[in-house]
Amino acid sequence: MAAGKHVDSIVKLSSTMALKCVCPKNASISQMVWEKEENQTKQLIAAFRLPYDLHIESKYKARVLVTNFTSDNKTLIFSNTTEEDVGFYLCSFHTFPYGILEKTIHVVQSGAFEFSKLSVDHLITKPGENVTFKYRSNSDVAVNRITWERVQPDCVDLIIQCADSEMPVYGSDYQNRVECISESSILLWDVTASDYGMYRFSYDKFSHGSPGSHNNLLNVKKKITNIAYITFYSMNIVLIPLEHIFQNIRQRFFMGVILSNYQQMPKTELNACFASIESEFWLRPKNTSKYQGNISSLLPAYKLKLFSYKISLQE
């Protein structure tokens, strides 16, 4: 929520940013529209009409791209952003038989995109299964409202918000996929590899005081063959976009791989699970030219958080 306004996703402003919009229901789509709210009015950015008609307003033509993944996935990609791009964005699908389906995205300059230093519960599951997220609540705390979110380095997605006296509020990307099953638990149905990541539980108290929060880490995998706990401190490290390993994950996660181990298992998939943030420093790959033939993209340097990684090796 932003000042009483329902928000499905909060996205951090960056020089190049993607605002994801996927139709939440299986429906016949006739048109899709991207707009920005300006002074309580809606300003058109782009409109797409099936099958191929795309109109982009002249103000945005030089720096906006609308993806054409599928008819129900029309992500808006910005380049050369400025502070003027902060604000509320609305994507809407005109569908049959559900009418207009909308998603609201708030682009901000800063926000709670980092994982808190609280304890993390690790959940491991397989594609197609249902997952229960639980928080071991304090029985002495009277909870007014609970919120579950998925937290990524540059985006926070609302999953569901529940209160005893109100109907649940669903995030656009999780409609028909989630339900509150207790005061501190939710059930997420039919998970896929794209659901991998960190999930945050927070609650508002009836009495005065600071709200509470808790983290759950979901790892979706086909089969576990070996688990190793590795903390990266002073090692030779190469940074690889996670999307190079899992093609159906579009989020820009990055993972570290010890170079010598990568040489030994070129066909092995690696799942990196965020465990805890300890400090901030620079990671820079060493001797990268030696590995250019084996790794499609070596990144020169990224300012990252120092994570304790839980790495699971898969055949």
Q: Tell me the pLDDT band of 121, cut-offs 50, 70 and 90.
A: confident
Q: In this structure, are strands 155-163 and 143-152 parallel, antiparallel, or unpaired?
A: antiparallel
Short-list 81, 44, 202, 80, CA closest to 137: 202
Question: Quick one: average pLDDT of 134-144?
Answer: 64
Predicted confidence at residue 290, as pLDDT, reads 34
- Residue ending a domain, among 220, 243, 273, is 220
Do 94 and 155 share a domain, yes or no? Answer: no
Under 8 Å between Cβ of 191 and 174: no
Predicted confidence at residue 24, as pLDDT, reads 82
Do 72 and 93 share a domain, yes or no? Answer: yes
Least confident of 55-69, 214-228, 247-261, 265-279: 265-279
Establish if 3 belongs to a structural domain. Answer: no
Establish if 135 belongs to a structural domain. Answer: yes
DSSP 208-237: SS--EEEEEEEEE-S---EEEEEE-SSS-E
Do 124 and 103 share a domain, yes or no? Answer: no
pLDDT surpasses 70 at 173? yes
pTM of the model: 0.65
Q: Give me the half-sphere count of Cα atoms (radius 13 Å) on the Cβ side of residue 11.
A: 28
Do 141 and 215 share a domain, yes or no? Answer: yes
Predicted confidence at residue 69, as pLDDT, reads 57
Do 103 and 172 share a domain, yes or no? Answer: no
Establish if 185 belongs to a structural domain. Answer: yes
Predicted confidence at residue 51, as pLDDT, reads 75
Predicted confidence at residue 41, as pLDDT, reads 92
Do 54 and 104 share a domain, yes or no? Answer: yes
Instruction: Give CA–CA dist 146/193, Å, rounded.
Output: 26
Short-list 30, 83, 29, 38, CA closest to 57: 38
Predicted confidence at residue 315, as pLDDT, reads 28
pLDDT one-digit tens code per residue, 12-48: 998 889 999 988 888 899 999 999 998 889 999 999 9
Choose between 163 and 239: higher pLDDT: 163
Q: Tell me the pLDDT band of 8, cut-offs 50, 70 and 90.
A: very high
Question: Quick one: average pLDDT of 113-128?
Answer: 70
- Backbone dihedral angles phi then psi of residue 83, each to the nearest 5 degrees: -60, -25
Do 85 and 56 share a domain, yes or no? Answer: yes
Do 99 and 124 share a domain, yes or no? Answer: no
Establish if 306 belongs to a structural domain. Answer: no
CATH code at 52?
A: 2.60.40.10
- Among 94-98, 164-168, 278-282, name the most confident range: 94-98
- Residue ending a domain, among 173, 189, 220, is 220
Predicted confidence at residue 4, as pLDDT, reads 66
The most distant pair of C-alpha atoms in the chain lies apart, rounded to whole Å, by: 62
Establish if 167 belongs to a structural domain. Answer: yes
Predicted confidence at residue 294, as pLDDT, reads 31
Q: What is the number of structural domains in the chain?
A: 2
Choose between 294 and 104: higher pLDDT: 104
Q: How deeply is 197 buried, as exposed, middle or buried, from its count of CB atoms within 10 A (0-12, 13-18, 19+)? A: buried
- Residue ending a domain, among 220, 255, 283, is 220
CA dihedral 206, 207, 210, 215 (to 10 degrees): -40
Report the share of the chain in percent with pLDDT over 70.
57
pLDDT surpasses 60 at 262? no
- Chain mean pLDDT for the chain: 67
Instruction: Give CA–CA dist 223/238, Å, rounded.
Output: 25
Predicted confidence at residue 275, as pLDDT, reads 26
Predicted confidence at residue 163, as pLDDT, reads 81
Do 130 and 93 share a domain, yes or no? Answer: no
Q: Tell me the pLDDT band of 299, cut-offs 50, 70 and 90.
A: very low
Do 184 and 124 share a domain, yes or no? Answer: yes
Q: Tell me the pLDDT band of 264, cut-offs 50, 70 and 90.
A: very low
CA-CA distances (angstroms) from residue 226 to 78, 80, 235, 289, 303? 40, 43, 21, 30, 29
Per the structure, the complete domain to which residue 124 belongs is given by 120-220
pLDDT surpasses 50 at 269? no
What is the separation of C-alpha 146 from the centre of its chain, rounded to a whole number of angstroms?
A: 19
Establish if 230 belongs to a structural domain. Answer: no
Establish if 146 belongs to a structural domain. Answer: yes
Instruction: Give CA–CA dist 111/134, Å, rounded.
Output: 25
Under 8 Å between Cβ of 115 and 201: no
Do 174 and 101 share a domain, yes or no? Answer: no
Do 60 and 143 share a domain, yes or no? Answer: no
Instruction: Give CA–CA dist 50/46, Å, rounded.
Output: 13
Establish if 15 belongs to a structural domain. Answer: yes
Partnered with residue 132 across adjacent β-strands are 187
